[in-house]
């Protein structure tokens, strides 16, 4: 907090080190020999989404060269219309959503041949309404969310069989009100975010037992104030997004202690080098930095842009897509 009487600002524990995190994100890909850069090669598209969305939430999207990012993204598009994680990789629905989301951040959706992308995604829907990740056929409700979110951003949701997509998602609903990756799969906060998000976007939230699921979700908050993803597991900053956005989408976020969660997220910061980790004192990465900042945005932490819980994009970006 800036202290006018002393003429300098002191960053106390319990504050978001915005400048440090911006610096961390901008420098992460340049670190030589870092484990992170080695393993991120194939999912660079996801990394771009996490890093750039965080920068936008922090009001610093203009720190990057948009043209360079955009030309790299388009080089990752394949004949099929899908995008790969990086140049020289195969297309996959995961990276297709991230590519579209980053284009949306920069207000450049018009560079896309929308039919081409839509054809790729439509081709991944299966008979039972589920979606495969790519031509190799892995099925997971994550991909249902991705397909629905992506096509909704491109304003062509009607190209898939929405009814079947919804009924598949509902077939993954469990006795605790939550959702798993496939029918019968254990309820997991990440899968719940995907299913609730997809149901929200398709106007199908009335199928969710909000009280039952809301309770399951609020029980994710542990003593430290952090959130876990399943009963009896450790808290992790990424659940600050998945659990929190789900609670917001079903209007039950008041059932957790928001202040304690804010404190948990802030405790996961590396105040010296920037970045946020999964839990206090662990190593930071871009993934958790994004989820921590996005979670704080949902908690209305001051100084951050608002983020849409279903589209996982800044609200002004979503408004621009749907309202021009």
In the complex, the smallest distance separating the C-beta of residue 164 from other proteins, rounded to whole angstroms, is 20
Give the nearer residue to other proteins in terms of CB position, either 139 or 315.
Answer: 139
Give the nearer residue to other proteins in terms of CB position, either 157 or 298.
Answer: 298
* From 8-16, 99-107, 183-191, 301-309, span contacting other proteins (CB under 8 A): 183-191
Q: Which of 21, 60, 92, 288 binds other proteins (CB under 8 A)?
A: 92
45, 95 contact by CB (below 8 A): yes
Q: Which of 207, 233, 319, 322 binds other proteins (CB under 8 A)?
A: 233
148, 198 contact by CB (below 8 A): yes
Pairing of strands 284-285, 276-277: antiparallel
Q: Does 90 bind other proteins (CB under 8 A)?
A: yes
Rounded distance, CA 95 to CA 73, Å?
Answer: 10
Residues 259-298 that bind other proteins (CB under 8 A): 260
- 173: closest CA among 163, 187, 162, 161? 187
- The footprint of other proteins on this chain (CB under 8 A) covers a number of residues equal to 59
Q: Does 130 bind other proteins (CB under 8 A)?
A: no
Q: Does 71 bind other proteins (CB under 8 A)?
A: yes
b/e sequence 284-315, b meaning 16+ C-beta within 10 Å: bbbbbbbbbbbbbbbbebeebbebbbbbbbbe
b/e sequence 160-181, b meaning 16+ C-beta within 10 Å: bebeebbebbbebbbebbbbbb
Residues 149-178 that bind other proteins (CB under 8 A): 174-176
* From 202-210, 236-244, 252-260, 307-315, span contacting other proteins (CB under 8 A): 252-260
Rounded distance, CA 193 to CA 179, Å?
Answer: 9
Q: Which of 141, 187, 246, 289 binds other proteins (CB under 8 A)?
A: 187
In the complex, the smallest distance separating the C-beta of residue 323 from other proteins, rounded to whole angstroms, is 30
Rounded distance, CA 183 to CA 276, Å?
Answer: 34
200, 249 contact by CB (below 8 A): yes
Q: Which of 20, 37, 205, 279 binds other proteins (CB under 8 A)?
A: 37
Tokens linked to 225: 């104030």
Question: Which residues touch 238 (CB under 8 Å, ≥6 apart)?
Answer: 190, 229, 278, 287, 288, 291
Rounded distance, CA 38 to CA 212, Å?
Answer: 42
Q: Does 182 bind other proteins (CB under 8 A)?
A: yes
Tokens linked to 144: 């249902």
Q: Which of 81, 225, 226, 309 binds other proteins (CB under 8 A)?
A: 225
Give the nearer residue to other proteins in terms of CB position, either 62 or 158.
Answer: 62
In the complex, the smallest distance separating the C-beta of residue 3 from other proteins, rounded to whole angstroms, is 32
Give the nearer residue to other proteins in terms of CB position, either 184 or 302.
Answer: 184
Q: Which residues of this chain interact with other proteins, rule CB under 8 A?
A: 29-34, 37-44, 48, 64-65, 67-69, 71-72, 75, 84-85, 87-90, 92, 136, 138, 174-176, 180-182, 184-188, 214-216, 218-219, 221, 225, 230-233, 254-257, 260
């Amino acid at each position: 907090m800036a202290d006018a009487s002393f003429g300098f600002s002191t960053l106390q524990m319990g504050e978001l080190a915005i400048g440090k995190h911006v610096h961390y994100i901008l420098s992460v890909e340049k670190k030589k020999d870092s484990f992170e850069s080695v393993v991120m090669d194939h999912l660079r598209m996801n990394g771009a989404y996490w890093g750039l969305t965080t920068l936008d939430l922090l009001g610093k999207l203009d720190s990057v060269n948009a043209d360079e990012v955009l030309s790299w993204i388009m080089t990752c598009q394949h004949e099929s219309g899908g995008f790969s994680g990086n140049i020289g990789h195969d297309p996959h629905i995961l990276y297709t959503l991230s590519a579209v989301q980053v284009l949306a951040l920069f207000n450049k959706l018009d560079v896309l041949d929308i039919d081409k992308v839509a054809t790729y995604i439509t081709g991944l829907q299966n008979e039972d309404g589920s979606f495969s990740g790519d031509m190799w056929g892995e099925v997971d409700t994550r991909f249902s969310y991705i397909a629905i979110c992506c096509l909704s951003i491109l304003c062509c949701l009607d190209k898939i069989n929405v009814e079947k997509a919804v009924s598949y998602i509902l077939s993954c609903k469990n006795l605790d009100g939550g959702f798993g990756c496939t029918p019968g799969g254990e309820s997991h906060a990440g899968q719940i975010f995907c299913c609730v998000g997809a149901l929200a976007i398709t106007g199908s939230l009335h199928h969710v037992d909000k009280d039952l699921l809301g309770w399951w979700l609020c029980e994710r908050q542990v003593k430290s104030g952090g959130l876990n993803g399943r009963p009896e597991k450790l808290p992790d900053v990424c659940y600050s997004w998945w659990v929190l956005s789900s609670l917001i989408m079903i209007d039950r976020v008041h059932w957790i202690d928001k202040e304690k969660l804010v404190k948990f997220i802030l405790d996961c910061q590396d105040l010296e080098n920037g970045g946020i980790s999964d839990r206090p004192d662990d190593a930071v990465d871009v993934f958790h930095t994004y989820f921590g900042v996005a979670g704080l945005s949902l908690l209305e932490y001051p100084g951050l842009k608002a983020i849409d819980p279903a589209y996982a994009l800044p609200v002004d970006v979503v408004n621009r897509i749907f309202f021009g």
